[in-house]
A and B are shown apart, each in its own frame.
Chain A
Amino acid sequence: MDTATLIQLLVPAALLVGAYFIGSSIEKKHYRELRTREHASRRFITVTFPYEPRDEEIVASTLVTGSVVISVDYFKRFLAGLRMLVGGRIKSYEPLLDRARREAIMRMKEDARAGGYHVISNMRLETSRIASSSGNNKGTAAVEILAFGTGLKLARRRPATP
């Protein structure tokens, strides 16, 4: 075996190992962060239908959005490539979409809270694949997740005047 073939084998192997360690540490860190942020905003009401307050009146509303573009690491893409030979569930890609969705929702909530809104009504999620410009399509598995909804500001209803 000459040096050229050796390098050809070693570089992807090094990438795989590196991507596995760095990728999984990024993922763990992100999940930790998500858990604390989700815990902090657990009382913030977000619903997927038009919200009708019972005891309050709506004083203001606006469109709130949150989005994230996320990509999968080299190691997971390699696993997915293997999986595509036999078909079935690609477990390595599921956390990617889960993280992206939760992150987008958190950003939408943070956007709403920063503007002083109390509720997000009629939340919707959209997913789209972002094309790579490198030409070969196997390079990218980047997806954009957009979360949007209508932020509502509530105030206690004024007592009815007789």
Chain B
Amino acid sequence: MILSNIENIPGKTIQEFYGVVTGSTVRAKHIGRDIMAGFKNIVGGELKGYTELLNEARQEAIERMEAQAKSVGANAVVNVRFTTSSVAQGAAELFAYGTAVKVE
């Protein structure tokens, strides 16, 4: 599965469009990470636990989007976008969407 955030797959031509595909996941933070983040909040700097958590979650959202694209017969997703929103205290939704296409 080839992904891009441009309207096409560079160097290839699009043969067919299959419409919008989406993938999302809602994640909550785990308590140990949250306590560490609490300490980090005093001195500032990167919250590594959260960075990892969000990366994993985003990867999962991308995988779900890819699975959906595969199920409709596409081999690429173009113009991929991401959104992150906090849906509740301590939980975030990671969302990825794009247009499923077939390239040669």
Assembly CA distance A128 to B46 (angstroms): 15
Q: State how many angstroms separate the Cβ of B35 from the closest Cβ of chain A.
A: 10
B51-63 toward A: CB 8 Å interface, digit per residue (1/0)? 1001100100010
* Chain B residue with the shortest CB-CB distance to A150: B4
* Chain B residue with the shortest CB-CB distance to A135: B89
Asked if A133 and B50 make an inter-chain contact with CB atoms under 8 angstroms apart, the answer reads no
- Range for the number of chain A residues in contact with chain B: 35 or more
Asked if B92 and A130 make an inter-chain contact with CB atoms under 8 angstroms apart, the answer reads yes
Write out the residue numbers on chain A whose beta carbons fall within 8 Å of the beta carbon of B89. 131-133, 135
User: Is the C-beta of A61 less than 8 angstroms from some C-beta in chain B?
Assistant: yes
User: Is the C-beta of B13 less than 8 angstroms from some C-beta in chain A?
Assistant: no
User: Is the C-beta of A41 less than 8 angstroms from some C-beta in chain B?
Assistant: no
User: Is the C-beta of A96 less than 8 angstroms from some C-beta in chain B?
Assistant: yes
* Chain B residue with the shortest CB-CB distance to A95: B44
Assembly CA distance A148 to B96 (angstroms): 12
Residue of A19, A76, A131, A135 touching B86 (CB-CB under 8 A): A131
Asked if A71 and B37 make an inter-chain contact with CB atoms under 8 angstroms apart, the answer reads yes
Q: State how many angstroms separate the Cβ of A15 from the closest Cβ of chain B.
A: 6
Q: State how many angstroms separate the Cβ of A78 from the closest Cβ of chain B.
A: 11
Write out the residue numbers on chain A whose beta carbons fall within 8 Å of the beta carbon of B10. 50-51, 58, 61, 121, 150, 152
Write out the residue numbers on chain A whose beta carbons fall within 8 Å of the beta carbon of B45. 23, 26-27, 30, 70-71, 73
Assembly CA distance A122 to B6 (angstroms): 7
Write out the residue numbers on chain A whose beta carbons fall within 8 Å of the beta carbon of B84. 126, 128, 144, 146
* Chain A residue with the shortest CB-CB distance to B3: A63
Asked if B47 and A142 make an inter-chain contact with CB atoms under 8 angstroms apart, the answer reads yes
Provided the pairs A58-B11, A62-B3 are in contact, do residues A72 and B44 lie with their beta carbons within 8 angstroms?
Answer: yes
Asked if B5 and A130 make an inter-chain contact with CB atoms under 8 angstroms apart, the answer reads no
Q: State how many angstroms separate the Cβ of A150 from the closest Cβ of chain B.
A: 4
Assembly CA distance A50 to B24 (angstroms): 26
User: Is the C-beta of A68 less than 8 angstroms from some C-beta in chain B?
Assistant: yes
Residue of B38, B42, B46, B90 touching A70 (CB-CB under 8 A): B46
Asked if B42 and A67 make an inter-chain contact with CB atoms under 8 angstroms apart, the answer reads no
Asked if A140 and B41 make an inter-chain contact with CB atoms under 8 angstroms apart, the answer reads yes
Asked if A124 and B43 make an inter-chain contact with CB atoms under 8 angstroms apart, the answer reads no
User: Is the C-beta of B2 less than 8 angstroms from some C-beta in chain A?
Assistant: yes
* Chain A residue with the shortest CB-CB distance to B62: A63
* Chain A residue with the shortest CB-CB distance to B31: A133
- Can you offer 11 A-B residue contacts whose CB atoms are under 8 A? A59-B11, A70-B44, A74-B43, A126-B83, A131-B90, A132-B89, A133-B29, A133-B89, A141-B41, A146-B84, A150-B6
